[in-house]
Amino acid sequence: MADAVKPIRLIAGLGNPGLQYRGTRHNMGYWLLDAIAEEKGLRFSADTKFFGEVARLKCEQGDIWLLKPTTYMNLSGSAVQAMASYYKISPEEILVVHDELDIAPGCMKIKLGGGNAGHNGLKDITAKLSTPNFWRLRIGIGHPRVFCPQQQVYDWVLGVPEPEHREGMQKCIDAAKKCLENLAKGNLEGVKRTVRKYESLPKPKAEPKPEPEAAEKEPRKTAPEETDAAHCK
């Protein structure tokens, strides 16, 4: 699929509202938008016509709307479609930030279009926009079958990540914040270059192999010293 050349005008960060969901894996979209707002000194305000909390990021290249749907995950499309329709934003100008089970914690990927991989938020956005052709920033949370096989997916996504996983997710958040200028320019190739550094976990450094112990040298054999007694008969 060809890269979009249009600038991003709307970033929708998916999550669930309420204190009980704060900091959970399913709220990765909220995490990123809250981090952007904190860094840029923005404040979200509730807007009922957009079914969510809204902030406006002013950039030289063009403004970007930040949207946190408060409809709960399964109805995220209502918020995204309402804002896109009101401001005449095309699907190719929308970036949806969401958690991704099939990507390891500490990794992220970006793509235009594609399937929903069982993500109900993406499913509803696709249905409401009548197209899957919007950008997705997929921040990895890992799958319970890898990290906690006895846990159901529902409980995993609504759980709080372990400290080491959270640290990796935060690195992705910090890197994603640096993409705002390129998003506003429509320089998605620049965004991809940044995200590509986080597509897989770095390989652990190989431990140096211990050097083989030097074989103990056998003592040098010397001929017995000749004495006067050796010649006695």
Q: What's the pLDDT tens digit per position in 19-56?
A: 999 999 999 999 999 999 999 999 999 999 999 999 99
* 140 within 8 A of 103, measured Cβ to Cβ: yes
* 55 within 8 A of 162, measured Cβ to Cβ: no
Q: Looking at 65-74, 98-107, 210-219, which range is the least confident one?
A: 210-219
Q: Which domains does the chain have, with CATH numbers?
A: 10-196 (3.40.50.1470)
Report the DSSP beta bridge partners of residue 12.
Answer: 67, 96
Average pLDDT of the chain is 89
Q: How far apart are CA 144 and CA 36, in angstroms?
A: 29
Instruction: List, in sequence order, every beta strand (DSSP E) within the chain.
Output: 10-13, 45-47, 52-57, 64-69, 94-100, 108-112, 135-140
- 220 confidence band (pLDDT: 50, 70, 90): low
Angle between helices 163-177 and 188-196 (to 10 degrees): 150
Q: Looking at 2-6, 8-12, 77-81, 114-118, which range is the least confident one?
A: 2-6
Question: Looking at this protein, which amino acid is placed at residue 182?
Answer: N
Flag whether the pTM goes above 0.95: no
The catalytic residues are 26
Q: Looking at 1-5, 120-124, 168-172, which range is the least confident one?
A: 1-5
Query: Could you identify the residue written with the tokens 């998003």?
Result: 183
Q: What's the pLDDT tens digit per position in 51-102?
A: 999 999 998 888 999 999 999 999 999 999 999 999 999 999 999 999 999 9
